[in-house]
Amino acid sequence: MEALAVQRIWPALRKARRLRGHALALRNAVAGDAAFIHAQRTDARNAEHLSPTSARLADQVAWMQRYAQDDSQAYFVIESLDGLPLGTVRLYDAQEGSFCWGSWILSASAAPTAAMESALIVYRYALDELGFNASHFQVNLGNTSVCRFHEQFFGARRVAQDDTEIHFVATEAALRAALKRWSRFLPAGIVVET
């Protein structure tokens, strides 16, 4: 008797119109957000730890137009619940049960709790709504505060390093523990608007 082959179906990234948390929402980025995103990516305070960005706004508009047709990633504008744009975050590179996230920028006007809440929203969406069981991501070598953030608050482990980046992995167990430990930042979970 032949053994039946079991094919594993891995989760996929998908866009959501809006993910509402406690004090923040993550709204799907659209071409009309290109000027805000470009300003954030080219701001000297932010650009130091980001991949290079073209100085031309038209290039960002074109990227946003391509993104609208791309089902392999979800790019969000982080905003206050009343719609004030505060930053960006992107989920991409789904590999089996793991997803990557980055392009994470918070403006100087964001509340001190915005980093924690936006990260919790990302993980809650990816684990509970999309079905991922791990995260992998890279942090610029000089971005020590973000490295500490991921390690101390979310149990991320360094798995590799090259000349420019540190590569991290966060397991489902570590992320579930962090979601529970830091639930005061997201007391009612998230509301997904599709």
The Cα 21–Cα 44 span in angstroms is: 29
Q: What is the pLDDT of residue 21?
A: 98
Kindly state the DSSP code that residue 37 receives in the 8-state scheme.
Answer: H
Residue 189 predicted with pLDDT over 70: yes
Which is higher by pLDDT, 2 or 46? 46
Contact call for residues 22 and 185 (beta carbons, < 8 A): yes
Q: Strand, helix or coil at 17? A: coil
pTM of the model: 0.94
Contacts 24+ apart (CB under 8 A), 81-88: 81/20, 81/23, 81/24, 81/25, 84/109, 85/33, 85/36, 86/24, 86/110, 86/114, 87/40, 87/114, 87/118, 88/29, 88/37, 88/40
Q: 117: which 2 tokens? A: 């809440």
The Cα 170–Cα 92 span in angstroms is: 15
- Number of C-alpha atoms within 13 angstroms, CB side, residue 79? 19
- Dihedrals φ, ψ of 159, to 5°? -120, -15
Residue 47 predicted with pLDDT over 80: no
Which is higher by pLDDT, 66 or 52? 66
Q: Which residue has the tokens 């039946």?
A: 4
- 118-174 pLDDT tens trace: 999 999 999 999 999 999 999 999 899 999 999 999 999 999 999 999 999 999 999
Residue 5 predicted with pLDDT over 70: no
Question: How far, CA to CA in Å, does 10 sit from each of 22, 89, 131?
Answer: 29, 22, 8
Residue 45 predicted with pLDDT over 60: yes
Q: Parallel, antiparallel, or unpaired: how do β-strands 98-106 and 134-140 relate?
A: parallel
2: pLDDT confidence band, cut at 50, 70 and 90? low
How much is the mean pLDDT over the chain?
94
- 62-99 pLDDT tens trace: 999 999 999 999 999 999 999 999 999 999 999 999 99
What domains are defined for the chain? 18-193 (3.40.630.30)
Residue 32 predicted with pLDDT over 60: yes
